[in-house]
Amino acid sequence: MSAADPWPWGDPGPAAPDPSGEDRAALARACARLFTHDDGRRLLRHLRALTVERHLGPEASDAALRHLEGQRALVAHLDRLIAEGRGSSSP
């Protein structure tokens, strides 16, 4: 960790590109299939309970808030993929 690189884990490098077109459609359909069955729905409910439905108190650190927001963003991304895979615009 240095002044130029304040994060202890170093530079994460460039973000992976978001799949587009046919790759994205195939990914969305696969995601929709995964979360259609009972086990998938149970897992998604669990992830939402841990993230979207979780609220931190006023004593929460900036790092804790950022971490939770990152987790929420991942669950929201899964919801969007599921909706796309099912051919709708909402989860």
Task: Give me the tens of pLDDT residue by residue for the chain, a chain 91 residues long.
Answer: 455 656 666 666 676 766 777 798 999 999 999 999 999 999 999 999 999 999 999 999 999 999 999 999 999 999 999 999 999 644 5
Q: What is the pLDDT at residue 11?
A: 67
Those residues with Cβ within 8 angstroms of residue 85's Cβ, 6 or more apart along the chain or in another chain: 28, 29, 30, 31, 32, 33
Give the per-residue pLDDT at 70: 94
Torsions phi, psi for 35 (to 5 deg)? -100, 15
User: Structural domain boundaries of the chain?
Assistant: 38-91
Q: 17-56: buried (b, 16+ CB within 10 Å) or exposed (e) per residue?
A: eeeeeeeeeeebbebbebbeeeeeeeebeebbeebeeeee
State the pLDDT at residue 10.
65
Give residue 6's pLDDT. 61
